Structure 1
Amino acid sequence: MSQEKTTMDLSRKFVRLVERREDGLVEFEFSIGDPELYAEMLLPADAYEDFCRINAVTVLEGEREEVEQDSGLGWSLHEANTRRY
């Protein structure tokens, strides 16, 4: 069996805005190389703008794709804080 090697471009950085909160904090997802693998982050608005500029991010529009609900993997910290499970 041959497996294709895929390379990840670690110079590419992505941000998906989740929410600009009333308390001045910005919730967002930050990815390096692959937008599907992300860390959920929270920064003050000014720090968020600096973070995006310094990292030369590509801003991802819209919501991420839904994960099948029955898998147990389709939730985020934002969703856990805003929905009742």
Structure 2
Amino acid sequence: MHLVKNDTPRSSVGGLTKYIRVRSEPDARFVEFDFAIGDPALFVELVMPKGAFDAFCAANQVVHMSAEQIQAVDAEMAKWRYGEDTLMAHNHDQDHGSD
């Protein structure tokens, strides 16, 4: 299986790139991943056995999300979870600074 590691579209749905972000460990029995079409921030969370995941990626000719895309998605998720100018947002930021 050959996956593209950059933003070059290999397949499309109406000209849109298909993205994945693997969240599970490499040796996990099941692969947990995010799948997006067109916009990496609009994704569904999926879980598949390794063989099914490999077939899914090959059939969809997916592109791995870039580090920048992952960072943007995580920042947007944190904003929705904790708010921007709220006590929880400030507490959350402090928690990460003490690690």
Same fold (TM over 0.5): yes
User: Given the alignment of the two structures, is residue 59 of structure 1 paired with residue 64 of structure 2, yes or no?
Assistant: yes
Provide the residue aligned with 2:82 in structure 1: 70
The partner residue of 2:22 within 17, 31, 35 is 17
Aligned length: 64
Provide the residue aligned with 2:6 in structure 1: none
Percent identity of paired positions between Structure 1 and Structure 2: 29
Structure 1 length-normalised TM: 0.61
Which structure shows the bigger proportion of residues in helix conformation?
2
Change (3 A) 1:27 1:64: farther
- In structure 1, the gaps of 5 or more residues are 1-8, 72-85
The partner residue of 1:38 within 43, 49, 61 is 43
Instruction: Choose 1 or 2 for highest CA Rg.
Output: 2
Structure 2 length-normalised TM: 0.53
Which structure shows the bigger proportion of residues in strand conformation?
1
Task: Name the SS for the 2:57 alignment partner.
Answer: helix
RMSD: 2.4
Task: Name the SS for the 2:39 alignment partner.
Answer: coil
Change (3 A) 1:60 1:12: same
